[in-house]
Amino acid sequence: MKLTVVGAGSTYTPELVAGLGRDQDALGLESLVLHDIDGERREVVGGLAQRMLDKQGYRGSLEPTGDLDRALDGADFVLVQLRVGGQAARLRDETIPLACGCIGQETTGAGGFAKAFRTVPVVLEVAERVRANAGPGAWIVDFTNPVGIVTRALLDAGHRAVGLCNVAIGFQRSFARLLGVAPERVLVDQVGLNHLTWVRAVRLDGQDVLPALLAEHGDAIAEQSGSPLALMEELGAVPSYYLRYFYAHDEVLDEQRDGVPRAATVAEIERGLLELYRDPELNEKPALLEQRGGAFYSEAALGLIQSLVSGDGAIHEVDVRNHGTLAGLRNSDVVEVPARVTRSGATPLPQPPLAPELLGLVQHTAAYEKLAVAAALSRDPVDVKKALLAHPLVGQYATAERLLDHLVAEALA
């Protein structure tokens, strides 16, 4: 099997490489290609990747390259983890909205729209090169944020793609730790849209233990979720951390205005990581990588790929077409739900209807995501404003016009 990572200059990549070395036999991995347009990052990350794989006894080939067609030639899996514009663009996404009275965040709200606007055309261009160069039946696994919007664009264009996020596996590992059991025994029934999800059940050996978890470990779960225990008890569900941007909007906005942008913190962490990666003696992922975010990214990505290779029917939390899974949404909407994965793809598990207090927000945001894809493709300022007007965290015409002028005008030029 040949696996190509597009955007492999990311400081996340050693996390993935650690898992690839560990699972090489189960995956049948014979060729790993690390593609990035940044030559320096490609060299630094590729060098560490080679040392890590050598230490793990990797028997296949490793090729860092800046040639996309070469990277994709004959690939069976293409994992896309791009950040178009780098951390500088992220910093703009997180700070410009604040001046307009909006949350500054790189995957949701106005900042998330700006990221999608930059990213969707680039990922679709990569996908067309996959179609032309990769092996028959190649899969695109999208880890590029905003995952739901990017995956929708890929599927709308007819690509064989599935989206992936690490929020659900983070909850699974946390719940397993609280329960004192192996993670494999825990199924997290998390549903909604990417970065707009709720855990409605936690199944230990098939039995829902969420009420008991909240009763015994409510404060710890509230800290991870970012939502008050009372809210979780009233909803009967655990919101993902990203729901805090909706449920505590004003509090978060004040925090962001007074605090240091996450982008600045991450940029500093990345500088430190890249310096560590240059050390010719380093042959394992450094502890600092844990501060970068993306916990359990390797396990989520490689578990999904292994199921697509083996057809084992394991359950994974993925971003796929709705196709009637969540009542009240279009079949074409992209939802994030548990799905049974085989060689032919991911089939969502049946889901009971969302409660009205969840469904309303999901419908609202799903409509925005459809408009966001349209705007990213048309590059029409009117479409941009329509998408921003539809987002629950924007929604005002004067605000949408200001965001158009200051957040995405450069991309339209």
**Strand boundaries in 214-304, DSSP class E:** 238-239
Round to whole Å and give the CA distance between 194 and 20: 25
Closest C-alpha to 62, from 31, 98, 93: 31
Phi and psi, residue 108, nearest 5°: -135, 165
Could you give the C-alpha distances from 356 to 182, 230, 269, 362, 363, in angstroms and in order? 34, 18, 41, 10, 10
CA of residue 405 relative to chain centroid, distance: 28
Instruction: Name residue, tokens 């994965």.
Output: 341
> Would you say 322 and 335 are in contact if contact means Cβ atoms under 8 Å apart?
yes
192: left (phi over 0), alpha (psi -120 to 50) or beta: left
Q: Could you confirm whether 245 is annotated as catalytic?
A: no
SS3 content of the chain, % helix, strand, coil (to 5): 55, 15, 30
Closest C-alpha to 334, from 139, 130, 197: 197
Beta bridge partners of 2: 31
Q: Which pair of structure tokens corresponds to residue 240?
A: 């993902």
> Choosing from 12, 58, 241, 242, which is the catalytic residue?
242
Beta bridge partners of 239: 198
Closest C-alpha to 198, from 93, 96, 348, 351: 351
Q: Which pair of structure tokens corresponds to residue 369?
A: 């995501």
Q: Catalytic residues, which ones? A: 242
